Amino acid sequence: MIKLLENQPDLTPMGSFWQQHVATPSSSTPFDSPFFSATHGLVQTHPSLGGSHSGPAPLNSNSLGTGAGTKPALTAGSGYLNSRGSLPTSARYPANKITGTVVEPNPKSPFRHLDFSTSATAELRRNPALSAPDECARACREGEPPRICYYHFTLEYYTVLGAACQVCTPNATNTVWSHCQCVLADGVERGILTANRMIPGPSIQVCENDKVVIDVENHMEGMEVTIHWHGIWQRGSQYYDGVPFVTQCPIQQGNTFRYQWTGNAGTHFWHAHTGLQKLDGLYGSVVVRQPPSRDPNSHLYDFDLTTHIMLISDWLHEDAAERYPGRLAVNTGQDPESMLINGKGQFRDPNTGFMTNTPLEIFTITPGRRYRFRMINAFASVCPAQVTIEGHGMTVIATDGEPVHPVDVNTIISFSGERYDFVISADQPVGAYWIQLRGLGECGIRRAQQLAILRYARGPYQPASSPPTYDVGIPQGVVMNPLDAQCNRQRNDAICVSQLKNALEIDRGILAEKPDVKIFLPFRFFVYRAEDLFQPNTYNRFLVAPTGDHVISLIDEISYLSAPAPLTSQYNDINPDQFCNGDNRPADCGPNCMCTHKIDIPLNAIVEVVLVDEGKLFFKDIF
């Protein structure tokens, strides 16, 4: 840390049920019914497709984007909840986008309304100052007063394709409430960890300057947990960053911890920051929108929809603990069997050829419109992820929450934790087009990939072309962040991240030729000898690499060891001998020194950090 100094089951029946009841709707089902509302009537995915309207469908007043209509102003707590904590009819049932009348839901559909009698929503009943998640996922207006947006996460052990899938099947993504508790993933049954029985977990979607309050309730027996809000600056809320024993003590089983922060604009995400829980399903999206006048690229898109978040993740078919520290014979390494796009996908067994029949994610667009997509790489492995969309280019307008000057590409390669915002123009013939996610690097060994569908409104649900395969995929075209790039020269077929230019003015002080402090941090792996690692009464940490080597990662020759108490709140309770750095290593420290790595820097200093990749082991590079 850096301290500032002031001084294989047969799933055919489930897949068939999905195809019959969800993926292939009957002609008698109205397209503007709640069944096809991407967020169950809270914020619509796209304008209505019904009626005889021949041009682009009219804009929905709840749509998000520069072309959205005006939503009635709501002060904090004065939204859809009435004084008795129930929803008025106009909020419980979405209005028909053509007539403005209320549409009663089909009682036979799996559509579920928010139940405000549960413990998870009790705080909304008690505190009228709070806004519900659906109220906060709104078009952001200049001068609108900020809201206090409340969320409740219940964390627990759960199952893919459990008994809940006999009750309903989910027909929504990026929802903030668990209307259907069936988790399908890629159709392979396994135990998982969930927040509100969803994968991904609840999507936090708010406006800039909103205060976000999240109660995290831990029901995972025998597990402690923290939640990290990746990309949130935490200015003035440093105790809620969710790093165990740095900003807080982990949340013990049976306890609830309240996180509170104000979000900076951009595309972010949340994930568990303890153990291997992120790999097992504890992650979700965070989107902090801003008024179009504050976004330098807002003129490039018409819509910024709640359902156009593309959260990609790697996926194991067993508990992550089965793969860590690692095996020597069966299922060696830590590379994933599969991948998910918004928690959905299909899997083909490479040994048997059997393929699951679970649904793919579908993103709907309307011809002639331009849409902002927000892609989040939630991978936990070292694999790069490659995303390409059939027949459509992508105009990159932001990365890691910061707007950049737009660049046009056909493929984006990203790594764990990175986010890219891009614009898609719906300028192709009405139809359905493949979205291909390929795992590179280690993931290439298993040919891991996943597909989704970009569908034009009123068009077919299935693309006309054959599904792309790992080896015969969608043409890459111009690639953002190619693995073989030489970024010191211009290329027509590639753009490096280092070539992107910030679209906003930055503090020129950080470009000072001579910073106040310069820190060099070399990274490498230390390889154990078996006779040293397994000495009696020694218990050094290790990872079994795909090569079979037993290794540990080092930063400046130190393997980080957590402090016994949170440093931000209980720094004086920690023995000074616990701390070390490259210039101050304990005398008895060996080549894999384990201590709490702390570097002191002056307050308000300009700091230059130089990362030196010394890795020459089973990865070509550490980064």
Q: How confident is the model at residue 104 (pLDDT cuts 50, 70, 90)?
A: very low
**Strand duo 432-439 + 385-389: pairing:** antiparallel
Token pair for 172: 């929504």
Q: Are 383 and 314 in contact (CB under 8 A)?
A: yes
Q: Is the pLDDT of residue 117 over 80?
A: no
Beta bridge partners of 439: 385
pLDDT tens digits, residue range 231-271? 999 999 999 999 999 999 999 999 999 999 999 999 999 99
| Among 80-94, 376-390, 505-519, 567-581, the least confident range | 80-94
Alpha-carbon distance of 394 to 407, in angstroms, equals 8
Per-residue burial over 7-39, b = 16 or more CB atoms within 10 Å of its CB, e = otherwise: eeeebeebbeebeebbbebeeeebbbbbbbbbb
pLDDT in tens, 128-174: 999 999 999 999 999 999 999 999 999 999 999 999 999 998 875 55
Closest among 406, 371, 403, 404 to 389, alpha carbons compared: 371
pTM of the predicted structure, to 2 decimals: 0.81
Residue in 199, 114, 133 with CA at minimum distance from that of residue 165: 199
- As a residue count, the chain comes to 623
Tens digit of pLDDT for each residue in 576-605?
A: 999 999 999 888 887 789 999 999 999 999
The residues of the chain that CATH labels 2.60.40.420 are 30-494
pLDDT in tens, 387-422: 999 999 999 999 999 999 999 999 999 999 999 999
The string of pLDDT tens digits covering residues 29-85 is 333 332 222 332 233 233 333 333 333 333 333 333 333 333 333 333 333 323 333
| CATH 1.10.3330.10 describes domain 30-494 | no
